[in-house]
Amino acid sequence: MMSNKKIAVLGGGSWATAIVSILSTNVDDFVWCMRNESAVQHIKQTQHNPNYLVGVSINTDKVSVSSDFKTTCEHADVIILAIPSAFLHVALGALDLDLSKKIFFSAVKGIIPEYNQIVGEYIQNQYKVPLHQIGVITGPCHAEEVALERLSYLTVACQDNLVAEFMSNQLRCNFIKVITSDDIYGTEYSAVLKNVVAVAAGIAHGLGYGDNFLSVLISNAIREIQRFLDVVHPINRDIKDSAYLGDLLVTAYSKFSRNRTFGTYIGKGYSVRAAQLDMNMIAEGYYAVKSIHEINKEHGVLMPITDAVYHIVYEKTSPRSEFKQLSDQLD
């Protein structure tokens, strides 16, 4: 019975905190696990995460908070991954557990940099988890707005409709609407690519480009995403759905977007390292653009926006000259 499945959320950041807040509206007993033991103790004592979304109240009558990843995963039936992609391989690799019977939902919106794989592929290949036990939680849903209980929309994707419906029912509440999909590859790749585009939007903002240019950039970006998805996982999908276009728009335009913020630093002349230190948050787009660049060597999809961000971030080309060239390729 799906209704009796034990849920665990892995990760201690803002999105993990937001997911815990959402789940608390429907689930009476689940586990929240993070590496930071001092944060665990602080949450137990004060019912607030000391580092992220500090205003969100955590109902510790419903949520058991732990730093023991192995025990948490051993006893959970459904594991929601909200760990930054750069740290996921190390976190799961240290468990030494058979995870093949677990149900996984990725809320990461990133690529595992060691393998250049989206999280679903990584879980399937590394831990022999069947594809129908892997899902994605995505959509235009900034953690900061969830914390304010502003109406938000999520897409839950899984090839097993019962699993998708189960997770949807755990997340659906008065401020969260949930749509289901079976496009786990497309939704997850799109969630990765929109972070790259958000970095590009931030660079443009940092360089002083205005809304007129940004609108053209985003118009080209959704076509770039569609070209890539049509090659890596060609199925019938509507790229205008909120899991694709909606997520792209909010990440490219919102003041809450850490990827846009990261790009703005770069556009203003900061080094990658200086931007990362000043932000003190993970911008998934930084890791994603390198992986997408490597993946696309096999496919050869026309991706001028992704290429421009890669050249700036990893090859240290001039943002201004790179965007001058990019502007000549957009229409």
On the question of pLDDT at 280 being above 90, the answer is no
Q: What is the pLDDT of residue 294?
A: 97
Question: How confident is residue 282, by pLDDT bands cut at 50, 70 and 90?
Answer: confident
Check whether 1 has a pLDDT greater than 70. Answer: no
Beta bridge partners of 113: none
What percentage of residues in the chain have a pLDDT greater than 90?
A: 93
**What is the rounded average pLDDT of the residues 137-153?**
94
| Burial of residue 323, with CB atoms counted within 10 A of its CB: 0-12 exposed, 13-18 middle, 19 or more buried | buried
> CB burial class (10 A; 0-12, 13-18, 19+) of residue 152?
buried
Q: Residue 268: CB partners within 8 Å, gap ≥ 6?
A: 206, 207
Tell me the two tokens of residue 312.
């700036």
Distance CA 133, CA 16 (A): 20
Position 87 pLDDT exceeds 80 = yes
Residue 194 among the catalytic residues: yes
Strand 152-158, strand 63-66: pairing: unpaired
Query: Could you write out the DSSP letters of every residue in 187-254?
Result: HHHHHHHHHHHHHHHHHHHHHT--HHHHHHHHHHHHHHHHHHHHHHS-----TTSIIIIIHHHHHHH-
Pick the CATH number of 2-182 from 3.40.50.720, 3.30.70.20, 3.30.70.100, 3.20.20.70: 3.40.50.720
**Residue 245 CB-half CA count within 13 A:** 10
What is the rounded distance in angstroms from the CA atom of residue 280 to the CA atom of residue 317?
A: 24
The pLDDT assigned to 244 comes to 97
Kindly tell me if the per-residue pLDDT of 2 is higher than 80: no
Structure tokens of 309?
């961000």
Q: Pull the structure tokens for residue 226.
A: 């569609």
Q: Length of the chain, please?
A: 331
Can you name the residues that pair with 134 across neighbouring β-strands?
A: 104
Distance CA 249, CA 237 (A): 18
Q: 236: how many CB neighbours lie within 10 A of its CB?
A: 5
Query: If you compute the radius of gyration of the chain from its CA atoms, what whole number of angstroms results?
Result: 19
The CATH architecture assigned to 186-329 reads Orthogonal Bundle (1.10)
Please pick, among 128, 194, 255, 290, the residue that the annotation labels catalytic: 194
Mean pLDDT of 95-120: 94
Whole-model pTM?
0.94
Paired strand residues for 230: none
User: What type of residue is 64?
Assistant: S
Domain residues of the chain, as ranges?
Answer: 2-182, 186-329
Q: pLDDT by residue (tens digit) across 240-252? A: 999 999 999 999 9
Answer whether residue 4 shows pLDDT above 90. no
Spatial separation of the C-alpha atoms in residues 45 and 35, rounded to whole Å? 17
114 contact partners, CB below 8 Å, separation of at least 6: 89
Number of C-beta neighbours around residue 329 at 10 A: 12
